[in-house]
């Protein structure tokens, strides 16, 4: 089990490095080729839009051998990245957009595939810890990879970054071959289990899955909704230079790494629903702290939000892994990813519009929504014994 855990953490490190480096460089590359900030921003839409097709793409994971499919997707992704070597000028900008779309589709399949494979490689008691470690690894790469990718781009151009990024999924494919699947492979879905409704039925029908996924969806959506608000608070309210946003990103990343390291123990003790509620509350506290007119409070709020956001995500992923039928795990995982990340498509532009009312109102609105969700979906309190009831002693 330790061997498999180490392999999955290494997979998260490599895939996180490649994707984080390329996601930044793709926008910079298009900006340099075209001079258009609008076209550069569309790269992010190409990456995130395929998550809306998650319920349909997840069905592939339940019909084919999951490890083989994930390995094949990584190999195809490497080939797609090497296609960027054909980019020579503005006329080949479409290649960058096409590769970004391929990245988005691979995200959906690989992320859901990893979620579905983990229960076959680890014991149920280890899932929370490993999910937390994977989250910390990915957040750590978000701190290192963009700087490394931008530096390599400035040094040798986009082709060098494309080759480096293509090497990452190749190494990931090799690591997947080394994973030992010790548990019984899942059964193939029957006709009754096929179709979009099967994954939705599991997701909506079990409270232990539904509640953590809803809490994660609300928190992640609010993180996108408040992006523009954080910019406004830093530049307009606090009158700090834009470079201070890098300090906040580092503080949030550090909080996410710390949160990922401890969330496994919390899941073992409290369960996914309680951890999801705690994560949503922490994210709300982080939003409120960033409303204070004092820059240390803004930094502290970013760190607290960085702890809470991964807690909601890891709690939701672990709930899907431990409470979904094995034959439908790929489909439920992909559907859950759509539910959690799909709202970003609307939340980000809505947040950009809401910032016209100032930086603090969107942060307050996000905090209120997260706290409302946490209060509404919190775990039910255990029933206390009635003190007036007679005490019955059973003797021998």
Structure confidence by residue, pLDDT tens digits, 184-237: 545 555 555 555 677 778 888 888 899 999 999 999 999 988 888 888 888 888
* 284-301: pLDDT as tens digits: 999 999 999 889 999 999
Task: Give the number of residues written for the chain.
Answer: 396
Give pLDDT tens digits for 337-393: 888 988 887 888 888 888 888 889 999 999 999 999 999 988 766 555 554 444 444
Interval 96-105 mean pLDDT? 91
Angle, alpha carbons 223-306-309 (nearest 5°): 55
Percent of the chain with pLDDT over 90: 35
Please provide the average confidence, as pLDDT, over all residues in the chain: 84
Minimum mean pLDDT range among 82-96, 102-116, 229-243:
229-243
Return d(Cα 246, Cα 160) in angstroms, integer: 25
């Amino acid at each position: 089990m330790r061997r498999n855990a180490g392999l999955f953490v290494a997979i998260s490190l490599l895939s996180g490095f490649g994707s984080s480096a390329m996601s930044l460089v793709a926008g910079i590359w298009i900006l340099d080729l075209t001079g258009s900030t609008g076209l550069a921003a569309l790269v992010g839409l190409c990456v995130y839009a395929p998550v809306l097709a998650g319920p349909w793409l997840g069905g592939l994971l339940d019909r084919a051998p999951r490890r083989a499919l994930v390995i094949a997707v990584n190999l195809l992704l490497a080939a797609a990245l090497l296609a960027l070597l054909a980019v020579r000028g503005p006329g080949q900008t479409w290649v960058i957009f096409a590769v970004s779309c391929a990245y988005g589709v691979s995200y959906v399949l690989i992320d859901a595939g990893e979620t579905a494979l983990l229960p076959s490689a680890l014991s149920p008691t280890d899932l929370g810890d490993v999910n937390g470690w994977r989250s910390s690894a990915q957040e750590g790469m978000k701190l290192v990879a963009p700087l490394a990718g931008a530096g390599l781009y400035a040094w040798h151009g986009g082709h060098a970054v494309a080759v480096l990024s293509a090497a990452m999924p190749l190494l990931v494919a090799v690591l997947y071959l080394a994973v030992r699947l010790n548990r019984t492979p899942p059964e193939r879905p029957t006709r009754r289990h096929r179709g979009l409704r099967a994954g939705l039925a599991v997701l909506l029908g079990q409270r232990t899955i539904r509640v953590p996924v809803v809490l994660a969806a609300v928190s992640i959506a609010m993180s996108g909704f408040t992006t523009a608000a954080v910019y406004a608070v830093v530049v307009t309210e606090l009158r700090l230079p834009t470079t201070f946003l890098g300090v906040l990103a580092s503080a949030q990343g550090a909080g996410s790494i710390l949160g990922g390291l401890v969330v496994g123990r919390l899941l073992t003790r409290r369960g996914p629903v309680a951890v999801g509620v705690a994560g949503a509350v922490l994210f709300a506290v982080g939003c409120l702290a960033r409303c204070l007119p004092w820059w240390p409070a803004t930094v502290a709020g970013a760190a607290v939000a960085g702890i809470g956001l991964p807690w909601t995500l890891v709690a939701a992923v672990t709930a899907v892994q431990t409470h979904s039928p094995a034959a439908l795990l790929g489909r439920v995982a992909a559907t859950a990813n759509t539910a959690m990340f799909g709202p970003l498509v609307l939340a980000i532009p809505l947040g950009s519009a809401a910032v016209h009312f100032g930086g603090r109102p969107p942060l307050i609105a996000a905090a209120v929504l997260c706290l409302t969700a946490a209060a509404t979906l919190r775990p039910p309190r255990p029933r206390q014994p009635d003190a007036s009831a007679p005490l019955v002693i059973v003797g021998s």
